[in-house]
Amino acid sequence: MTRWENYMNAAEEIVAAYDGSLPLHHFLKNFFKARPHMGSRDRRRVQQLVYQYYRLGKWQPQLDVRERMLLGTFLCETSPDALLGFFKPEWNERITGTVIDKLVFLNLRWDAASAFPFVSHLSEGIDPEAFTLSYLQQPRLFIRARPGKKAAILRLLEDAGVAHETTGDAIALANGIKIEELLPDKRAYEVQDLSSQETGHRFRPQPKERWWDCCAASGGKSILLHDQQPSIGLTVSDVRASILENLHKRFAEAGIKQYDARVLDLTKPVTGFRPFKGIILDAPCSGSGTWGRSPEHLFYFTEDRITEYAALQKKIAKHVTPLLEPGGRLVYITCSVFKEENEDAVTFLQNECGLEIEESGVIKGYDREADTMFVAVGRNLT
């Protein structure tokens, strides 16, 4: 049996066993740990096949697992692939063409609604075909240069011969780059998607203001906020104590020492705080704007969960907006592409929380090899 057949058999075994209850990368880690005979090259190739299977979403459901993996390989890869050459040499000869060229060659038509069954829920302005086709390409790795560090980072990348592109303080790199080895000084940069970095354009903190990152997770938005104005009084909170431990470590690496951290369940009323000039509500959401990085989520997501997330977001918003000072600003963020989590939330912030909406809209990443996000800014006029 050739190694290509072994790779295909292992990938089929993974797809048959995986049920979506764990993030796929955790499942794969456990799978490979139980098979120490597989080398790094073997693991990488099998993992690639599995992800390409899920990148097709719900499109072409009549195909068996092996056919879907080969089709995914053909559509996702852009240079000749030895495995595809073994199973489908006639496809491999055309692999450098565009996705549209490949579909024409196969006499197939891309169906956005079939690939992504939730098209009717997409936020305004999102192109269904372009968005769903972006799943065939993994978003790039983005880092954010911290203040005063960009020039040094670019010199290191150029000296190492690493291809990169810049947009403001964002630096785009190919996936698979071992960033910790390339840039060992973690104080110089943060790993942060391009669209996530652009949400920070709405923060605009002023000196000495009090700000609260109320769903802080591991603190990426807080570090971005602090880099904009280090003199702010910063409070961070999350419902998970374990996540705040990660935040403490990340803050230490970033050199942030002065802040207040709380474990808070924001589905309940919040007490014990003075009002804040600014609140970042990076709301728990479906994460649908990031599924290009983790396409298995699309495969196992169910429509009813959109309503569940939307209800949770409104409950949290209702509890945190009373803690805005008069004239204070709420920056509402999701990494979702669903209108129930985005535009409908803006309507709620306006009608039920009494905020004046200054701006809102989708930050498109699907046409920039990045995540797609949503951001709205509301002001407390009371």
Note whether 219 and 213 are within 8 A (CB).
yes
Supply the angle between the helices 99-106 and 65-76 in degrees, to the nearest 10: 140
Find the catalytic residue in 76, 215, 285, 335: 335
Annotated binding site for S-adenosyl-L-methionine: 238, 265, 282
pLDDT lower than 70: segments of the chain? none
Interval 313-367: pLDDT, tens: 999 999 999 999 999 999 999 999 999 999 999 999 999 999 999 999 999 999 9
Give yes or no for a contact between 317 and 348, defined as CB atoms under 8 angstroms apart.
yes
Question: CB neighbours of 139 closer than 8 A, spacing ≥ 6?
Answer: 175, 193, 292, 293, 365, 369, 370, 371
Regarding the domain delimited by 141-191, which CATH topology (the fold level of the hierarchy) does it fall under? Answer: Alpha-Beta Plaits (3.30.70)
Predicted pLDDT at 1:
80
Q: What is the pLDDT of residues 210-242, one digit of tens each?
A: 999 999 999 999 999 999 999 999 999 999 999
The pLDDT score that the predictor gives to residue 382 is 82
For the chain, the domains span 3-110, 141-191, 194-380
pLDDT given at position 303: 96
pLDDT of residue 167: 87
Q: Is 285 labeled as catalytic in the residue annotation?
A: no
How high is the pLDDT of residue 90?
Answer: 97
Fold of 194-380: Rossmann fold (3.40.50)
Q: Which residues does the annotation place in the binding site? A: 238, 265, 282
By the 8 A CB rule, do 341 and 90 touch?
A: no
pLDDT at 175: 87
Across the beta sheet with 210-213, what order do the strands follow?
Answer: 260-263, 233-238, 210-213, 276-282, 324-334, 373-380, 355-363
